[in-house]
Structure 1
Amino acid sequence: MSTPPLRWLVLGATGFVGSAIVAELESRGESVAVLAAPRLESSAATADGIVAGARTAVAATGLEGAFAGVDIVVNAAGLATPGDGESPALAGANALLPAVAALAARSAGVSRFVHLSSASVQGHRRVIDESPSRAPFSPYSRSKALGEEALELLAAEASGTSLVTVRATSVQGPGRPTTASFVKVAASPIASVASPGTAPTPVSSINALAWFVVEVASHPDAVPSLVLQPWEGLTVSDVLEAGGGRKPLRLPGWLCRGVLKGGYLVSALMGERLHGPIRRVELMWFGQEQVPGWAESAGLVPAPAVRAVLEDARRANGLR
């Protein structure tokens, strides 16, 4: 007897990541519904506070009814604003909403709920992994970390719904402002890496992320509650050359570290307003290594696409 097709719902389907996941599902002939995320706010500063607020807020959102009859819910909603300061809206979108949606999915009998988080929750660590260790460094990364922690508490509760958090890395793709900015920097004289320029980079493609999320969500066996988007195999020099069409300048590591230290000190005096841009420079120079995780052990490593994505973005921006 054939298995009935899965019924999917993507929350936040009009955003950069959500629209790519919907396109991936449609390319596979899957039945997918889309839903705009409710706007929520929260002043909670702890995961316990977020979960308590979610239990109170879930009924008013109507998400339980919207999820009825759905097998898999993917939450791709959130505020991707690395340069913003702390706000109830930021915490509401990136911490409270995931918990509310997870509770609604559980009440509606959804089989698996997948939430999109960010590897930025591990901050300046030289190596990122799938551990619950977090070191957020900005309002944005703190809000994403709070969302992860809240889902961690909910996942520990007995339930028939599998709750999975996917940590996305530095995702690039067509039409994304950060990608357009990246290729412009890569083509400019300031494109540079910390010598020798062979450090692995977490820069990744939206193509690979969308494929991976769908594979995680539809995996027939148990999936860990936290998984990391796999590395696409490029170095800091590779991505700058793909995005800029030229080899980057190599700078002494000591000089790069000194500039970053000074930049973060100035940003701290400005309420961390510059932490996001400085972190992007840090990743450009030093990259960040990834520990192979569940994806590699399960054989769910997507085809690398970031080089082609950056080359296409370079041409789309009129760069040679």
Structure 2
Amino acid sequence: MSGLKETRNYLVLGGTGFVGSAVVAELQARGHSVVVLPAPRLASSAATARELLDEALAAPARASLAAALANVDVVINAAGLALPGAAASPALTGANALLPAVVASAARAAGTGRFIHLSSASVQGQRSSIDESGERAPFSAYSRSKALGEEALELLAPATADHLSLVTVRATSVQGADRATTQSLVAIARSPLASVASPGTAPTPVSSLAALAWFVAEVAQHAGEVPAVVLQPWEGLDVRGVLVAAGGRRPLSLPRGLCRAALAAGFAVSSRLLGERLHGSLRRVELMWFGQDQEPGWAQTVGLLPTPSAAQVLEQARRRAQGSLGA
């Protein structure tokens, strides 16, 4: 059960970051009072979800967070390290895996009604289609850290079922006009490297910050039960449409076999010689060429579909890049 009241108090952890600030703004625009709390810096060398959960329950930060969450009905964890190309480290595991477990256990102790953790669809790796299942196939240090966080919340869930609703929102490829990753996408889309695997009509999970913030706010104030894992809804773009919006021109169309062979070689070199340091960049190329489908989920079932704005965000980022270059 959710234990939620009609009138709620909201707290956003990491509310000054890229996603967190947008969620705070969305909630405030709806007339809600929102408390913003900085995330404690945590580190962990845990290799399993059970080890991680044991650390979370004994973490000194748990007691202080529980005190901060007193009288909070919904807590949203938007904190973490968004470093897809990073190597494995205690800091990465601490921010993306240990922190959500600590906050969730603190929320349980404080009597919070709903805890929303912002995860990433990257936990399902290179699957042809992402969904809301518990199946995970992380392929990099970053995606493994996010997957470990989800697994720890799964272990904690049975002990919280009496009054705390634990919800993981899997964000997709979120873009913002000023975000560095979006500007990098624009630079590629405007260059001779802009290309898709033929025929270029594959769906892609490229999405917008505004749509994610809207969806998180809807999940936060939803009066009924919410599944343990929900996927950010698709915004309707295909791989060619993304590059046209970001680059202002049609990309090259490459043979699919050639693209697959190039990616296989790149991932092999990254794994064997570079400690997976190229995995994040190669995954971005893979998404540019092949996209990734996603199954309709809970949002479609209950009609919580945001207004698509990913194409407009990419066009806005392109205009800003053109302006800065005088193009």
TM-score with structure 2 setting the length: 0.95
Tell me by how many angstroms 1:217 deviates. Answer: 1.2
3-state SS of 1:70 partner: coil
Give the letter aligned to residue 270 of structure 1. L
Instruction: Specify the alignment match of 1:16 in structure 2.
Output: 18
Give the letter aligned to residue 302 of structure 2. A
Unaligned runs of 5+ in 2: none
Unaligned runs of 5+ in 1: none
Partner Cα separation in structure 2 for residue 272 and residue 258 of structure 1: 18
Partner Cα separation in structure 2 for residue 23 and residue 183 of structure 1: 26
Give the letter aligned to residue 236 of structure 1. V
Superposition map of 1:1-320 within 5 A? 5-57=7-59, 62-157=64-159, 158-268=161-271, 269-318=273-322
Give the letter aligned to residue 74 of structure 1. I
Structure 1 stretch displaced more, 40-49 or 157-166: 157-166
Structure 1 stretch displaced more, 23-32 or 149-158: 149-158
Q: Percent identity of the aligned residues?
A: 66
Aligned alpha-carbon RMSD (Å): 1.1
Partner Cα separation in structure 1 for residue 291 and residue 309 of structure 2: 18
> Is contact 1:50–1:95 with CA below 8 Å preserved after alignment?
yes
Tell me by how many angstroms 1:174 deviates. Answer: 2.7
Partner Cα separation in structure 2 for residue 192 and residue 316 of structure 1: 22
Structure 1 stretch displaced more, 151-160 or 282-291: 151-160
With over 3 angstroms needed to count, the CA separation of the structure-2 counterparts of 1:123 and 1:4, relative to structure 1, is closer
Runs of 4+ aligned residues of structure 1 deviating over 6 Å after TM superposition are none
Partner Cα separation in structure 1 for residue 126 and residue 177 of structure 2: 27
> Is contact 1:241–1:247 with CA below 8 Å preserved after alignment?
yes
Partner Cα separation in structure 2 for residue 284 and residue 299 of structure 1: 29
Tell me by how many angstroms 1:26 deviates. Answer: 1.2
> Is contact 1:64–1:104 with CA below 8 Å preserved after alignment?
yes
> Is contact 1:186–1:244 with CA below 8 Å preserved after alignment?
yes
Tell me by how many angstroms 1:27 deviates. Answer: 1.0
Tell me by how many angstroms 1:11 deviates. Answer: 0.1
Tell me by how many angstroms 1:58 deviates. Answer: 5.0
TM-score with structure 1 setting the length: 0.97
> Is contact 2:6–2:223 with CA below 8 Å preserved after alignment?
no
Tell me by how many angstroms 1:239 deviates. Answer: 0.7
Partner Cα separation in structure 2 for residue 16 and residue 291 of structure 1: 26
3-state SS of 1:33 partner: strand
The alignment of Structure 1 onto Structure 2 pairs a total of residues equal to 318
Partner Cα separation in structure 2 for residue 167 and residue 291 of structure 1: 13
Give the letter aligned to residue 143 of structure 1. S
3-state SS of 2:322 partner: coil
3-state SS of 1:221 partner: coil
Tell me by how many angstroms 1:164 deviates. Answer: 0.1
Give the letter aligned to residue 201 of structure 1. T
Give the letter aligned to residue 172 of structure 2. T
> Is contact 2:15–2:78 with CA below 8 Å preserved after alignment?
yes
Tell me by how many angstroms 1:59 deviates. Answer: 5.0
3-state SS of 1:285 partner: helix
3-state SS of 1:167 partner: strand
Tell me by how many angstroms 1:61 deviates. Answer: 5.5
Partner Cα separation in structure 2 for residue 149 and residue 284 of structure 1: 29
Partner Cα separation in structure 1 for residue 220 and residue 290 of structure 2: 32
> Is contact 1:5–1:31 with CA below 8 Å preserved after alignment?
no
Tell me by how many angstroms 1:60 deviates. Answer: 5.2
> Is contact 1:58–1:100 with CA below 8 Å preserved after alignment?
no
Tell me by how many angstroms 1:159 deviates. Answer: 3.0
Partner Cα separation in structure 2 for residue 59 and residue 109 of structure 1: 17
